[in-house]
Structure 1
Amino acid sequence: MGEARGFGYVERGDGSVVISHHGRPAGTLRGERAAEFLAEVDDDPQLVMARWTGNYRRGNERTARQHPRNRG
């Protein structure tokens, strides 16, 4: 099991991988995708799990905050 700033993953006996975010399931990978994930997760677990679940920042938050529509 890997834990990194809110993300975690569990390898199951059937070869699938369950990725969770703050204790809630965020995705399940099976077969070839699970093997790809496990090969990649050692590099930077936080970034890899966020990318595989689609839960990551895209780098435009500051720009969006400064947009006239979002000024309060």
Structure 2
Amino acid sequence: MGELDKRNKLMEEPFTYIVTKKATIIIYFHNKQIKVVKDKEAERLLKKIKDVENNILEVQLLLAKITGNFKHGNEKLNKKK
């Protein structure tokens, strides 16, 4: 995991997910909904998660990859001045 997660951000488990009754997966990043995965893509993701469910870092990596390139590190933080 060293090269993929150099700053150990996935150790903090920022991604969570829920599976709805219709097998839709809703993915959250720090408790904010960022992606909804449906149909065949959701089935494939669930299968991959089941394969590595004992390894939290692998699950986090799968969720990070499926969400795409949404976080670049240059976002402004909500700082109070």
> Smaller-chain TM-score range?
0.5 to 0.7
Among 18, 29, 33, the alignment partner of 2:37 is: 29
Among 2, 8, 12, the alignment partner of 2:16 is: 8
Q: Secondary structure at the match of 2:45?
A: helix
Q: 1:47 corresponds to which letter in structure 2? A: L
Where in structure 1 are there 5+ consecutive unaligned residues?
58-72
State the alpha-carbon separation in 2 of the partners of residues 32 and 40 from structure 1. 12
1:63 aligned residue: none
Q: Deviations over 1:4-29 (max 9, x none)?
A: 71100100001100010000011001
Q: Which runs of 4+ in 1 moved over 6 A?
A: none
1:50–1:56 Cα contact (<8 Å) kept: no
In our comparison, the structure showing a higher alpha carbon Rg is 1
Q: How many residues align?
A: 54
TM-score, normalising length: structure 2: 0.59
Deviation at 1:55, TM superposition (A): 4.4
Among 35, 41, 46, the alignment partner of 2:60 is: 46
Deviation at 1:41, TM superposition (A): 1.9
Where in structure 2 are there 5+ consecutive unaligned residues?
1-11, 53-57, 72-81
State the alpha-carbon separation in 1 of the partners of residues 66 and 18 from structure 2. 14
